[in-house]
Structure 1
Protein backbone atom coordinates (compact mmCIF):
# COMPACT_ATOMS: atom_id res chain seq x y z
CA UNK A 1 0.00 0.00 0.00
CA UNK A 2 1.34 3.43 -0.97
CA UNK A 3 1.79 6.11 1.70
CA UNK A 4 -0.99 8.15 0.09
CA UNK A 5 -3.38 5.20 0.12
CA UNK A 6 -2.49 4.48 3.71
CA UNK A 7 -3.12 8.12 4.62
CA UNK A 8 -6.58 7.99 3.02
CA UNK A 9 -7.32 4.75 4.82
CA UNK A 10 -6.18 6.25 8.11
CA UNK A 11 -8.34 9.36 7.56
CA UNK A 12 -11.40 7.25 6.73
CA UNK A 13 -10.82 5.14 9.79
CA UNK A 14 -10.40 8.23 11.98
CA UNK A 15 -13.67 9.70 10.69
CA UNK A 16 -15.51 6.47 11.43
CA UNK A 17 -14.08 6.35 14.93
CA UNK A 18 -15.07 9.96 15.57
CA UNK A 19 -18.61 9.50 14.29
CA UNK A 20 -19.05 6.25 16.21
CA UNK A 21 -17.53 7.64 19.41
CA UNK A 22 -19.67 10.80 19.28
CA UNK A 23 -22.88 8.84 18.67
CA UNK A 24 -22.09 6.33 21.40
CA UNK A 25 -21.11 9.09 23.82
CA UNK A 26 -24.40 10.85 23.08
CA UNK A 27 -26.39 7.73 23.97
CA UNK A 28 -24.33 7.20 27.13
CA UNK A 29 -24.91 10.82 28.19
CA UNK A 30 -28.66 10.43 27.61
CA UNK A 31 -28.62 7.35 29.83
CA UNK A 32 -26.57 8.99 32.59
CA UNK A 33 -28.46 12.28 32.69
CA UNK A 34 -31.99 11.08 31.93
CA UNK A 35 -33.46 12.89 34.96
CA UNK A 36 -31.78 16.14 33.86
CA UNK A 37 -33.30 15.87 30.38
CA UNK A 38 -36.82 14.59 30.95
CA UNK A 39 -38.62 13.95 34.23
CA UNK A 40 -41.85 14.93 35.94
CA UNK A 41 -40.04 15.83 39.18
CA UNK A 42 -37.67 18.77 39.74
CA UNK A 43 -33.89 18.69 39.63
CA UNK A 44 -33.46 20.94 42.64
CA UNK A 45 -35.83 22.00 45.41
CA UNK A 46 -34.45 24.91 47.43
CA UNK A 47 -36.14 25.50 50.80
CA UNK A 48 -35.07 27.49 53.86
CA UNK A 49 -34.36 24.17 55.59
CA UNK A 50 -32.00 22.97 52.86
CA UNK A 51 -31.58 21.88 49.25
CA UNK A 52 -32.87 18.64 47.75
CA UNK A 53 -30.94 17.37 44.72
CA UNK A 54 -32.74 15.09 42.24
CA UNK A 55 -35.72 14.34 44.51
CA UNK A 56 -37.10 12.15 41.71
CA UNK A 57 -34.32 9.72 42.63
CA UNK A 58 -33.85 10.34 46.35
CA UNK A 59 -37.58 10.68 47.20
CA UNK A 60 -39.24 8.82 44.35
CA UNK A 61 -42.25 7.73 46.41
CA UNK A 62 -43.19 11.31 47.22
CA UNK A 63 -43.82 12.16 43.56
CA UNK A 64 -45.43 8.94 42.41
CA UNK A 65 -48.94 9.58 41.08
CA UNK A 66 -48.96 13.33 41.76
CA UNK A 67 -50.59 15.60 39.22
CA UNK A 68 -48.89 18.82 38.14
CA UNK A 69 -51.30 20.82 40.29
CA UNK A 70 -50.38 18.72 43.34
CA UNK A 71 -46.68 19.19 42.55
CA UNK A 72 -47.16 22.95 42.35
CA UNK A 73 -48.84 22.87 45.77
CA UNK A 74 -46.03 20.72 47.19
CA UNK A 75 -43.42 23.27 46.05
CA UNK A 76 -45.45 26.40 46.76
CA UNK A 77 -42.90 27.80 49.21
CA UNK A 78 -39.71 26.60 47.50
CA UNK A 79 -37.52 27.60 44.57
CA UNK A 80 -37.62 24.81 42.01
CA UNK A 81 -35.33 23.97 39.07
CA UNK A 82 -37.00 21.73 36.49
CA UNK A 83 -35.43 19.49 33.83
CA UNK A 84 -35.41 20.49 30.17
CA UNK A 85 -38.55 18.47 29.49
CA UNK A 86 -41.24 17.93 32.14
CA UNK A 87 -42.44 14.45 31.33
CA UNK A 88 -41.40 11.22 33.02
CA UNK A 89 -41.66 7.80 31.36
CA UNK A 90 -44.64 6.80 33.55
CA UNK A 91 -46.68 10.02 33.56
CA UNK A 92 -49.86 9.65 31.54
CA UNK A 93 -51.65 12.05 29.23
CA UNK A 94 -54.15 11.64 26.39
CA UNK A 95 -53.35 8.42 24.44
CA UNK A 96 -52.18 8.42 20.83
CA UNK A 97 -51.30 12.10 20.61
CA UNK A 98 -49.41 13.18 17.52
CA UNK A 99 -45.95 14.74 17.73
CA UNK A 100 -46.08 18.28 19.13
CA UNK A 101 -44.08 20.73 21.21
CA UNK A 102 -45.53 19.15 24.33
CA UNK A 103 -44.76 15.62 23.14
CA UNK A 104 -42.00 15.61 20.48
CA UNK A 105 -42.65 11.95 19.56
CA UNK A 106 -46.29 11.80 20.64
CA UNK A 107 -47.81 9.50 23.26
CA UNK A 108 -48.47 5.76 23.29
CA UNK A 109 -51.66 3.78 23.96
CA UNK A 110 -51.33 4.45 27.70
CA UNK A 111 -50.72 8.17 27.25
CA UNK A 112 -47.03 7.91 28.18
CA UNK A 113 -44.56 10.21 26.44
CA UNK A 114 -42.62 8.30 23.76
CA UNK A 115 -39.58 10.59 23.92
CA UNK A 116 -39.23 10.06 27.68
CA UNK A 117 -39.53 6.29 27.23
CA UNK A 118 -36.77 6.31 24.60
CA UNK A 119 -34.44 8.29 26.90
CA UNK A 120 -35.00 6.00 29.89
CA UNK A 121 -34.76 2.95 27.62
CA UNK A 122 -31.19 3.94 26.80
CA UNK A 123 -30.36 3.58 30.49
CA UNK A 124 -31.65 -0.01 30.59
CA UNK A 125 -29.81 -1.02 27.42
CA UNK A 126 -26.49 0.75 27.89
CA UNK A 127 -26.36 0.38 31.67
CA UNK A 128 -26.70 -3.38 31.37
CA UNK A 129 -24.30 -3.55 28.41
CA UNK A 130 -21.54 -1.52 30.05
CA UNK A 131 -21.81 -3.34 33.38
CA UNK A 132 -21.99 -6.84 31.87
CA UNK A 133 -19.14 -6.13 29.43
CA UNK A 134 -16.91 -4.73 32.18
CA UNK A 135 -17.54 -7.62 34.58
CA UNK A 136 -17.10 -10.21 31.83
CA UNK A 137 -13.90 -8.57 30.58
CA UNK A 138 -12.25 -8.32 34.01
CA UNK A 139 -13.03 -11.91 35.00
CA UNK A 140 -12.36 -13.28 31.51
CA UNK A 141 -8.95 -11.63 31.18
CA UNK A 142 -7.92 -12.90 34.62
CA UNK A 143 -8.97 -16.51 34.01
CA UNK A 144 -7.86 -16.57 30.37
CA UNK A 145 -4.42 -15.28 31.32
CA UNK A 146 -4.03 -17.98 33.98
CA UNK A 147 -5.17 -20.67 31.56
CA UNK A 148 -2.82 -19.52 28.81
CA UNK A 149 0.20 -18.89 31.01
CA UNK A 150 -0.01 -21.78 33.48
CA UNK A 151 -0.61 -24.65 31.10
CA UNK A 152 -2.70 -27.77 30.95
CA UNK A 153 -4.01 -27.96 34.51
CA UNK A 154 -5.46 -24.47 34.37
CA UNK A 155 -6.77 -25.19 30.88
CA UNK A 156 -8.94 -27.95 32.28
CA UNK A 157 -10.20 -25.79 35.15
CA UNK A 158 -10.88 -22.73 33.00
CA UNK A 159 -12.22 -24.13 29.76
CA UNK A 160 -14.75 -26.70 30.95
CA UNK A 161 -17.14 -24.16 32.57
CA UNK A 162 -16.57 -21.79 29.66
CA UNK A 163 -17.49 -24.48 27.13
CA UNK A 164 -20.68 -25.26 29.06
CA UNK A 165 -21.69 -21.57 29.04
CA UNK A 166 -20.85 -21.17 25.36
CA UNK A 167 -22.93 -24.23 24.46
CA UNK A 168 -26.17 -22.38 25.26
CA UNK A 169 -27.69 -19.88 22.81
CA UNK A 170 -27.62 -16.51 24.52
CA UNK A 171 -31.38 -15.90 24.65
CA UNK A 172 -31.99 -19.46 25.96
CA UNK A 173 -29.46 -18.88 28.74
CA UNK A 174 -31.20 -15.62 29.67
CA UNK A 175 -34.62 -17.28 29.84
CA UNK A 176 -33.28 -20.22 31.88
CA UNK A 177 -31.51 -18.00 34.41
CA UNK A 178 -34.47 -15.65 34.70
CA UNK A 179 -36.80 -18.57 35.40
CA UNK A 180 -34.35 -20.03 37.95
CA UNK A 181 -33.34 -16.83 39.77
CA UNK A 182 -36.63 -14.88 39.67
CA UNK A 183 -34.63 -11.69 40.02
CA UNK A 184 -34.05 -8.48 38.09
CA UNK A 185 -30.33 -9.32 38.23
CA UNK A 186 -30.77 -12.48 36.16
CA UNK A 187 -30.34 -10.64 32.85
CA UNK A 188 -27.15 -8.94 34.05
CA UNK A 189 -25.79 -12.25 35.35
CA UNK A 190 -26.55 -14.01 32.06
CA UNK A 191 -25.02 -11.26 29.92
CA UNK A 192 -21.89 -11.11 32.10
CA UNK A 193 -21.53 -14.91 31.89
CA UNK A 194 -21.69 -14.82 28.09
CA UNK A 195 -19.10 -12.05 27.87
CA UNK A 196 -16.91 -13.84 30.43
CA UNK A 197 -16.91 -17.02 28.33
CA UNK A 198 -15.94 -15.22 25.12
CA UNK A 199 -13.24 -13.06 26.71
CA UNK A 200 -11.74 -16.04 28.56
CA UNK A 201 -11.33 -18.05 25.36
CA UNK A 202 -9.93 -15.09 23.42
CA UNK A 203 -7.46 -14.13 26.18
CA UNK A 204 -6.21 -17.70 26.49
CA UNK A 205 -5.73 -17.96 22.72
CA UNK A 206 -3.87 -14.63 22.55
CA UNK A 207 -1.60 -15.50 25.48
CA UNK A 208 -0.71 -18.86 23.91
CA UNK A 209 -0.09 -17.25 20.49
CA UNK A 210 2.04 -14.42 21.82
CA UNK A 211 4.01 -16.70 24.15
CA UNK A 212 5.44 -18.42 21.05
CA UNK A 213 6.41 -15.18 19.29
CA UNK A 214 10.07 -14.29 18.76
CA UNK A 215 10.13 -11.12 20.89
CA UNK A 216 8.68 -12.98 23.89
CA UNK A 217 11.19 -15.81 23.49
CA UNK A 218 13.97 -13.21 23.23
CA UNK A 219 12.82 -11.52 26.44
CA UNK A 220 12.77 -14.87 28.24
CA UNK A 221 16.24 -15.72 26.88
CA UNK A 222 17.57 -12.43 28.28
CA UNK A 223 16.53 -13.53 31.76
CA UNK A 224 13.22 -11.70 32.25
CA UNK A 225 11.01 -13.27 34.88
CA UNK A 226 7.89 -15.04 33.54
CA UNK A 227 5.57 -12.57 35.28
CA UNK A 228 7.46 -9.62 33.76
CA UNK A 229 7.30 -11.21 30.31
CA UNK A 230 3.57 -11.79 30.76
CA UNK A 231 2.66 -8.29 31.95
CA UNK A 232 5.18 -6.27 29.93
CA UNK A 233 5.24 -8.13 26.62
CA UNK A 234 2.30 -10.52 26.27
CA UNK A 235 -0.77 -8.80 27.73
CA UNK A 236 -0.12 -5.33 26.20
CA UNK A 237 -0.06 -6.93 22.73
CA UNK A 238 -3.30 -8.77 23.50
CA UNK A 239 -5.18 -5.59 24.40
CA UNK A 240 -6.19 -4.62 20.86
CA UNK A 241 -8.06 -7.84 20.01
CA UNK A 242 -9.59 -7.78 23.50
CA UNK A 243 -10.76 -4.20 22.94
CA UNK A 244 -12.33 -5.25 19.63
CA UNK A 245 -14.08 -8.11 21.41
CA UNK A 246 -15.39 -5.79 24.15
CA UNK A 247 -16.76 -3.28 21.64
CA UNK A 248 -18.44 -6.07 19.70
CA UNK A 249 -19.74 -7.48 22.99
CA UNK A 250 -21.19 -4.13 23.98
CA UNK A 251 -23.39 -4.17 20.89
CA UNK A 252 -24.33 -7.82 21.35
CA UNK A 253 -25.46 -7.23 24.95
CA UNK A 254 -27.62 -4.28 23.85
CA UNK A 255 -29.28 -6.58 21.30
CA UNK A 256 -29.66 -9.30 23.95
CA UNK A 257 -31.31 -6.91 26.41
CA UNK A 258 -33.68 -5.65 23.72
CA UNK A 259 -34.59 -9.19 22.63
CA UNK A 260 -35.18 -10.29 26.23
CA UNK A 261 -37.41 -7.28 26.93
CA UNK A 262 -39.29 -7.94 23.69
CA UNK A 263 -40.07 -11.41 25.06
CA UNK A 264 -41.21 -9.96 28.37
CA UNK A 265 -38.00 -10.47 30.37
CA UNK A 266 -36.40 -7.19 31.31
CA UNK A 267 -36.67 -3.92 33.16
CA UNK A 268 -39.57 -1.51 33.39
CA UNK A 269 -38.19 0.79 30.68
CA UNK A 270 -36.69 -0.92 27.67
CA UNK A 271 -36.54 -0.45 23.91
CA UNK A 272 -37.54 -4.09 23.46
CA UNK A 273 -40.66 -3.53 25.52
CA UNK A 274 -41.49 -0.48 23.38
CA UNK A 275 -41.10 -2.49 20.17
CA UNK A 276 -43.34 -5.27 21.51
CA UNK A 277 -46.00 -2.78 22.61
CA UNK A 278 -45.83 -0.87 19.34
CA UNK A 279 -46.31 -4.01 17.27
CA UNK A 280 -48.98 -5.44 19.58
CA UNK A 281 -51.02 -2.24 19.86
CA UNK A 282 -50.74 -1.27 16.21
CA UNK A 283 -48.76 1.88 17.02
CA UNK A 284 -45.71 1.82 14.72
CA UNK A 285 -44.41 5.16 16.05
CA UNK A 286 -43.59 3.54 19.38
CA UNK A 287 -41.73 0.69 17.70
CA UNK A 288 -39.91 2.93 15.22
CA UNK A 289 -38.73 5.32 17.95
CA UNK A 290 -37.14 2.43 19.84
CA UNK A 291 -35.70 0.93 16.64
CA UNK A 292 -34.14 4.29 15.70
CA UNK A 293 -32.44 4.59 19.11
CA UNK A 294 -31.27 0.98 18.88
CA UNK A 295 -29.91 1.55 15.36
CA UNK A 296 -27.91 4.62 16.44
CA UNK A 297 -26.40 2.72 19.38
CA UNK A 298 -25.56 -0.39 17.37
CA UNK A 299 -24.26 1.63 14.43
CA UNK A 300 -21.94 3.60 16.70
CA UNK A 301 -20.58 0.47 18.38
CA UNK A 302 -19.97 -1.30 15.07
CA UNK A 303 -18.34 1.74 13.44
CA UNK A 304 -15.77 1.76 16.23
CA UNK A 305 -15.39 -2.03 16.09
CA UNK A 306 -14.94 -2.05 12.31
CA UNK A 307 -12.25 0.63 12.49
CA UNK A 308 -10.41 -1.26 15.24
CA UNK A 309 -10.56 -4.51 13.25
CA UNK A 310 -9.20 -2.72 10.18
CA UNK A 311 -6.39 -1.22 12.23
CA UNK A 312 -5.59 -4.61 13.75
CA UNK A 313 -5.46 -6.29 10.32
CA UNK A 314 -3.21 -3.55 8.94
CA UNK A 315 -0.88 -3.82 11.93
CA UNK A 316 -0.63 -7.60 11.50
CA UNK A 317 0.18 -7.23 7.79
CA UNK A 318 2.75 -4.51 8.46
CA UNK A 319 4.40 -6.53 11.22
CA UNK A 320 4.47 -9.59 8.98
CA UNK A 321 6.07 -7.72 6.09
CA UNK A 322 8.74 -6.23 8.38
CA UNK A 323 9.43 -9.65 9.88
CA UNK A 324 9.86 -11.11 6.42
Structure 2
Protein backbone atom coordinates (compact mmCIF):
# COMPACT_ATOMS: atom_id res chain seq x y z
CA UNK A 1 0.00 0.00 0.00
CA UNK A 2 2.91 2.38 0.72
CA UNK A 3 4.29 2.00 -2.85
CA UNK A 4 1.10 3.09 -4.60
CA UNK A 5 1.49 6.22 -6.72
CA UNK A 6 -0.96 9.06 -6.31
CA UNK A 7 -2.27 10.51 -9.60
CA UNK A 8 -2.03 14.22 -10.15
CA UNK A 9 -5.20 16.28 -10.04
CA UNK A 10 -6.79 16.74 -13.46
CA UNK A 11 -7.03 20.32 -14.75
CA UNK A 12 -10.42 21.97 -14.73
CA UNK A 13 -11.92 21.83 -18.21
CA UNK A 14 -15.14 23.68 -17.46
CA UNK A 15 -15.05 27.19 -15.92
CA UNK A 16 -16.28 27.45 -12.35
CA UNK A 17 -19.97 28.12 -11.92
CA UNK A 18 -20.67 31.65 -10.81
CA UNK A 19 -23.56 31.81 -8.44
CA UNK A 20 -25.59 34.98 -8.50
CA UNK A 21 -27.76 36.28 -5.72
CA UNK A 22 -31.56 36.09 -5.90
CA UNK A 23 -31.88 39.79 -6.77
CA UNK A 24 -29.41 39.63 -9.65
CA UNK A 25 -31.02 36.42 -10.89
CA UNK A 26 -34.46 38.02 -10.89
CA UNK A 27 -33.17 41.11 -12.72
CA UNK A 28 -31.43 38.95 -15.32
CA UNK A 29 -34.56 36.88 -15.94
CA UNK A 30 -37.07 39.75 -15.96
CA UNK A 31 -35.32 42.96 -17.08
CA UNK A 32 -38.51 44.38 -18.62
CA UNK A 33 -40.45 43.90 -15.39
CA UNK A 34 -37.71 45.52 -13.32
CA UNK A 35 -37.34 48.47 -15.69
CA UNK A 36 -41.08 49.13 -15.84
CA UNK A 37 -41.53 48.77 -12.08
CA UNK A 38 -38.54 51.05 -11.44
CA UNK A 39 -39.86 53.80 -13.72
CA UNK A 40 -43.34 53.54 -12.26
CA UNK A 41 -41.99 53.65 -8.70
CA UNK A 42 -40.02 56.79 -9.59
CA UNK A 43 -43.17 58.44 -10.93
CA UNK A 44 -45.16 57.45 -7.83
CA UNK A 45 -42.46 58.98 -5.62
CA UNK A 46 -42.56 62.11 -7.79
CA UNK A 47 -46.31 62.41 -7.20
CA UNK A 48 -46.03 61.82 -3.45
CA UNK A 49 -43.03 64.13 -2.96
CA UNK A 50 -44.26 66.88 -5.30
CA UNK A 51 -44.27 69.62 -2.60
CA UNK A 52 -40.61 68.91 -1.78
CA UNK A 53 -39.23 68.80 -5.33
CA UNK A 54 -38.63 72.53 -5.75
CA UNK A 55 -42.16 73.21 -6.95
CA UNK A 56 -44.30 76.33 -6.57
CA UNK A 57 -48.05 76.68 -6.25
CA UNK A 58 -49.26 75.15 -9.57
CA UNK A 59 -52.22 77.54 -9.68
CA UNK A 60 -50.35 80.75 -8.79
CA UNK A 61 -50.78 83.41 -11.49
CA UNK A 62 -47.91 85.75 -12.43
CA UNK A 63 -48.82 87.74 -15.58
CA UNK A 64 -45.49 89.58 -15.47
CA UNK A 65 -43.65 86.28 -16.08
CA UNK A 66 -45.89 84.77 -18.73
CA UNK A 67 -44.50 82.75 -21.65
CA UNK A 68 -40.92 82.68 -20.38
CA UNK A 69 -38.72 79.92 -21.84
CA UNK A 70 -37.09 77.27 -19.60
CA UNK A 71 -34.49 78.80 -17.31
CA UNK A 72 -32.91 78.40 -13.90
CA UNK A 73 -35.89 80.03 -12.18
CA UNK A 74 -38.54 78.17 -14.21
CA UNK A 75 -37.11 74.83 -15.32
CA UNK A 76 -39.88 74.10 -17.83
CA UNK A 77 -40.80 77.73 -18.52
CA UNK A 78 -44.11 79.47 -17.83
CA UNK A 79 -47.47 79.40 -19.59
CA UNK A 80 -49.64 82.24 -20.88
CA UNK A 81 -50.83 83.02 -17.34
CA UNK A 82 -47.34 82.99 -15.83
CA UNK A 83 -47.80 79.68 -14.02
CA UNK A 84 -44.74 77.52 -13.53
CA UNK A 85 -45.00 74.59 -15.98
CA UNK A 86 -42.56 72.46 -13.98
CA UNK A 87 -44.79 72.65 -10.90
CA UNK A 88 -47.93 71.95 -12.93
CA UNK A 89 -46.33 68.93 -14.63
CA UNK A 90 -45.08 67.49 -11.34
CA UNK A 91 -48.46 67.93 -9.66
CA UNK A 92 -50.13 66.60 -12.81
CA UNK A 93 -48.47 63.26 -12.08
CA UNK A 94 -50.90 62.85 -9.20
CA UNK A 95 -53.95 63.26 -11.43
CA UNK A 96 -52.79 60.82 -14.09
CA UNK A 97 -51.67 58.14 -11.64
CA UNK A 98 -54.87 58.51 -9.60
CA UNK A 99 -56.99 58.06 -12.71
CA UNK A 100 -54.89 55.17 -14.02
CA UNK A 101 -54.80 53.22 -10.76
CA UNK A 102 -58.44 53.98 -9.92
CA UNK A 103 -59.79 52.89 -13.29
CA UNK A 104 -57.57 49.81 -13.32
CA UNK A 105 -58.76 48.70 -9.88
CA UNK A 106 -62.47 49.37 -10.37
CA UNK A 107 -62.74 47.98 -13.90
CA UNK A 108 -60.79 44.86 -12.90
CA UNK A 109 -63.04 44.12 -9.92
CA UNK A 110 -66.31 44.73 -11.77
CA UNK A 111 -65.11 43.01 -14.94
CA UNK A 112 -63.89 40.04 -12.91
CA UNK A 113 -67.30 39.58 -11.28
CA UNK A 114 -69.14 39.88 -14.61
CA UNK A 115 -66.73 37.53 -16.38
CA UNK A 116 -66.95 34.88 -13.66
CA UNK A 117 -70.76 34.85 -13.69
CA UNK A 118 -71.02 35.00 -17.48
CA UNK A 119 -68.46 32.28 -18.08
CA UNK A 120 -69.65 29.77 -15.48
CA UNK A 121 -73.42 30.33 -15.31
CA UNK A 122 -74.43 29.25 -18.81
CA UNK A 123 -77.94 30.74 -18.92
CA UNK A 124 -76.64 34.26 -18.16
CA UNK A 125 -73.87 34.23 -20.75
CA UNK A 126 -75.90 35.41 -23.73
CA UNK A 127 -77.63 38.27 -21.92
CA UNK A 128 -74.51 39.63 -20.22
CA UNK A 129 -72.24 39.35 -23.24
CA UNK A 130 -74.72 41.09 -25.54
CA UNK A 131 -74.71 44.03 -23.14
CA UNK A 132 -70.91 44.02 -23.09
CA UNK A 133 -70.78 43.82 -26.89
CA UNK A 134 -73.06 46.85 -27.04
CA UNK A 135 -70.66 48.86 -24.88
CA UNK A 136 -67.62 47.66 -26.84
CA UNK A 137 -69.22 48.77 -30.11
CA UNK A 138 -68.81 52.38 -28.97
CA UNK A 139 -65.22 53.75 -29.06
CA UNK A 140 -63.97 54.28 -25.49
CA UNK A 141 -63.22 57.97 -26.10
CA UNK A 142 -66.70 58.71 -27.44
CA UNK A 143 -68.33 56.71 -24.65
CA UNK A 144 -66.32 58.55 -22.01
CA UNK A 145 -67.12 61.94 -23.57
CA UNK A 146 -70.83 61.07 -23.70
CA UNK A 147 -70.80 60.04 -20.04
CA UNK A 148 -68.90 63.18 -19.03
CA UNK A 149 -71.46 65.41 -20.75
CA UNK A 150 -74.10 64.02 -18.39
CA UNK A 151 -72.15 65.14 -15.31
CA UNK A 152 -69.87 67.96 -14.31
CA UNK A 153 -66.12 67.69 -14.64
CA UNK A 154 -64.39 66.17 -11.62
CA UNK A 155 -61.77 63.56 -10.88
CA UNK A 156 -64.35 61.06 -9.63
CA UNK A 157 -66.57 61.45 -12.69
CA UNK A 158 -63.58 60.99 -15.01
CA UNK A 159 -62.63 57.76 -13.23
CA UNK A 160 -66.23 56.52 -13.38
CA UNK A 161 -66.65 57.34 -17.08
CA UNK A 162 -63.42 55.63 -18.13
CA UNK A 163 -64.18 52.65 -15.87
CA UNK A 164 -67.51 52.03 -17.62
CA UNK A 165 -65.71 52.13 -20.97
CA UNK A 166 -63.07 49.60 -19.84
CA UNK A 167 -65.26 47.06 -18.01
CA UNK A 168 -66.30 45.11 -21.17
CA UNK A 169 -62.69 44.33 -22.08
CA UNK A 170 -61.94 42.83 -18.68
CA UNK A 171 -65.19 40.87 -18.59
CA UNK A 172 -64.59 39.30 -22.02
CA UNK A 173 -61.06 38.31 -21.04
CA UNK A 174 -62.20 36.68 -17.78
CA UNK A 175 -65.11 34.99 -19.55
CA UNK A 176 -62.73 33.39 -22.05
CA UNK A 177 -60.53 32.09 -19.24
CA UNK A 178 -63.52 30.72 -17.34
CA UNK A 179 -64.88 28.96 -20.43
CA UNK A 180 -61.57 27.10 -20.75
CA UNK A 181 -61.61 26.15 -17.05
CA UNK A 182 -65.20 25.08 -16.38
CA UNK A 183 -64.79 21.82 -18.34
CA UNK A 184 -61.63 20.76 -16.52
CA UNK A 185 -61.73 17.42 -14.63
CA UNK A 186 -61.29 19.01 -11.20
CA UNK A 187 -64.33 21.23 -11.81
CA UNK A 188 -66.38 18.22 -12.90
CA UNK A 189 -65.23 16.37 -9.78
CA UNK A 190 -66.29 19.28 -7.57
CA UNK A 191 -69.73 19.35 -9.22
CA UNK A 192 -70.07 15.58 -8.79
CA UNK A 193 -69.27 15.94 -5.07
CA UNK A 194 -72.14 18.36 -4.68
CA UNK A 195 -70.07 21.54 -4.23
CA UNK A 196 -72.18 24.64 -4.65
CA UNK A 197 -71.55 26.97 -7.58
CA UNK A 198 -70.24 29.96 -5.56
CA UNK A 199 -67.73 27.72 -3.80
CA UNK A 200 -66.54 26.26 -7.11
CA UNK A 201 -66.07 29.74 -8.56
CA UNK A 202 -64.13 31.10 -5.59
CA UNK A 203 -62.05 28.00 -4.88
CA UNK A 204 -61.30 26.56 -8.34
CA UNK A 205 -61.99 29.22 -10.98
CA UNK A 206 -61.04 32.56 -9.40
CA UNK A 207 -57.38 31.72 -8.55
CA UNK A 208 -56.68 30.78 -12.18
CA UNK A 209 -58.00 34.12 -13.48
CA UNK A 210 -55.84 36.38 -11.33
CA UNK A 211 -52.70 36.17 -13.48
CA UNK A 212 -54.29 37.24 -16.80
CA UNK A 213 -56.40 39.84 -14.99
CA UNK A 214 -53.29 41.36 -13.39
CA UNK A 215 -51.59 41.71 -16.76
CA UNK A 216 -54.75 43.18 -18.30
CA UNK A 217 -55.01 45.66 -15.41
CA UNK A 218 -51.65 47.19 -16.32
CA UNK A 219 -52.75 47.81 -19.91
CA UNK A 220 -56.02 49.32 -18.68
CA UNK A 221 -54.03 51.63 -16.41
CA UNK A 222 -52.02 52.92 -19.38
CA UNK A 223 -55.13 53.26 -21.53
CA UNK A 224 -56.95 55.15 -18.76
CA UNK A 225 -54.17 57.72 -18.45
CA UNK A 226 -54.26 58.33 -22.20
CA UNK A 227 -58.06 58.64 -22.14
CA UNK A 228 -57.87 61.10 -19.25
CA UNK A 229 -55.40 63.23 -21.20
CA UNK A 230 -57.66 63.12 -24.26
CA UNK A 231 -60.74 64.10 -22.24
CA UNK A 232 -58.88 66.97 -20.59
CA UNK A 233 -57.45 68.03 -23.95
CA UNK A 234 -60.92 68.41 -25.47
CA UNK A 235 -62.32 70.06 -22.34
CA UNK A 236 -64.40 67.11 -21.09
CA UNK A 237 -62.05 65.81 -18.39
CA UNK A 238 -60.72 67.16 -15.13
CA UNK A 239 -61.55 70.83 -14.44
CA UNK A 240 -58.87 73.44 -15.25
CA UNK A 241 -58.34 74.08 -11.53
CA UNK A 242 -56.76 70.60 -11.23
CA UNK A 243 -53.35 70.48 -12.96
CA UNK A 244 -53.20 67.50 -15.29
CA UNK A 245 -51.09 66.73 -18.31
CA UNK A 246 -54.10 66.89 -20.60
CA UNK A 247 -55.10 70.33 -19.30
CA UNK A 248 -51.56 71.68 -19.71
CA UNK A 249 -51.34 70.45 -23.31
CA UNK A 250 -54.81 71.82 -24.07
CA UNK A 251 -53.83 75.26 -22.78
CA UNK A 252 -50.65 75.30 -24.83
CA UNK A 253 -51.91 73.91 -28.14
CA UNK A 254 -52.64 77.41 -29.53
CA UNK A 255 -49.00 78.36 -28.90
CA UNK A 256 -47.47 75.10 -30.08
CA UNK A 257 -45.57 76.60 -33.01
CA UNK A 258 -44.00 79.48 -31.03
CA UNK A 259 -43.82 77.97 -27.51
CA UNK A 260 -43.54 74.18 -27.99
CA UNK A 261 -42.17 73.58 -24.49
CA UNK A 262 -45.66 74.12 -23.01
CA UNK A 263 -46.85 70.94 -24.71
CA UNK A 264 -43.56 69.05 -24.87
CA UNK A 265 -42.92 68.50 -21.15
CA UNK A 266 -46.36 67.14 -20.16
CA UNK A 267 -46.38 64.98 -23.30
CA UNK A 268 -42.95 63.61 -22.34
CA UNK A 269 -44.13 62.71 -18.83
CA UNK A 270 -47.29 61.10 -20.20
CA UNK A 271 -45.32 59.02 -22.71
CA UNK A 272 -42.83 57.93 -20.04
CA UNK A 273 -45.61 56.88 -17.67
CA UNK A 274 -47.45 54.90 -20.32
CA UNK A 275 -44.17 53.26 -21.36
CA UNK A 276 -43.43 52.28 -17.75
CA UNK A 277 -46.86 50.72 -17.27
CA UNK A 278 -46.65 48.83 -20.57
CA UNK A 279 -43.19 47.51 -19.69
CA UNK A 280 -44.54 46.39 -16.34
CA UNK A 281 -47.40 44.59 -18.07
CA UNK A 282 -45.08 42.84 -20.53
CA UNK A 283 -42.79 41.80 -17.69
CA UNK A 284 -45.68 40.44 -15.63
CA UNK A 285 -46.94 38.48 -18.63
CA UNK A 286 -43.55 36.82 -19.04
CA UNK A 287 -43.15 36.18 -15.31
CA UNK A 288 -46.64 34.77 -14.72
CA UNK A 289 -46.81 32.58 -17.84
CA UNK A 290 -44.40 29.60 -17.58
CA UNK A 291 -44.42 29.19 -21.38
CA UNK A 292 -43.03 32.71 -21.77
CA UNK A 293 -40.14 32.32 -19.33
CA UNK A 294 -36.83 32.44 -21.14
CA UNK A 295 -34.55 29.50 -20.82
CA UNK A 296 -37.31 26.96 -20.15
TM-score category by the smaller chain? 0.7 to 0.9
> Do 2:43 and 2:273's aligned partners in 1 also have CA atoms closer than 8 Å?
yes
- Using the TM superposition, give the Cα deviation of residue 260 of structure 1 relative to its aligned residue in structure 2, in angstroms: 1.2
Match of 1:181, SS state, is coil
- 1:120 matched to 2:136? The reply is no
> Do 2:55 and 2:86's aligned partners in 1 also have CA atoms closer than 8 Å?
no
Match of 1:307 in 2: 283
Match of 2:263 in 1: 287
Whole-angstrom CA distance in 2 between matches of 1:99 and 1:187: 31
Match of 2:131, SS state, is helix
> Do 1:13 and 1:307's aligned partners in 2 also have CA atoms closer than 8 Å?
no
Q: TM-score, normalised by structure 2?
A: 0.80
Structure 2: runs of 5+ lacking an equivalent: 1-23
Match of 1:68 in 2: none
State the superposition RMSD in angstroms: 2.7
Whole-angstrom CA distance in 1 between matches of 2:161 and 2:29: 33
- 1:173 matched to 2:143? The reply is yes
1:65-98 deviations in Å (ceiling 9; x for gaps)? xxxxxxxxxxxxxxxxxxx525111113311223
Whole-angstrom CA distance in 1 between matches of 2:36 and 2:139: 28
- 1:19 matched to 2:35? The reply is yes
The structure that has the greater radius of gyration is: 2
Q: TM-score, normalised by structure 1?
A: 0.73
Match of 1:278 in 2: 252
- Using the TM superposition, give the Cα deviation of residue 14 of structure 1 relative to its aligned residue in structure 2, in angstroms: 1.9
Q: Cα distance 1:181–1:161, how it changes in 2: closer, same or farther (>3 A)? A: farther
> Do 1:97 and 1:107's aligned partners in 2 also have CA atoms closer than 8 Å?
yes
- Using the TM superposition, give the Cα deviation of residue 220 of structure 1 relative to its aligned residue in structure 2, in angstroms: 4.7
Higher mean displacement: 275-284 or 138-147:
275-284
- Using the TM superposition, give the Cα deviation of residue 13 of structure 1 relative to its aligned residue in structure 2, in angstroms: 4.9
Structure 1: runs of 5+ lacking an equivalent: 1-7, 38-83
Whole-angstrom CA distance in 2 between matches of 1:86 and 1:183: 26
User: Structure with the greater relative contact order (CA < 8 A, sep ≥ 6): 1 or 2?
Assistant: 2
- Using the TM superposition, give the Cα deviation of residue 225 of structure 1 relative to its aligned residue in structure 2, in angstroms: 4.9
Match of 2:150, SS state, is helix
Match of 1:164 in 2: 134
Higher mean displacement: 309-318 or 298-307:
309-318
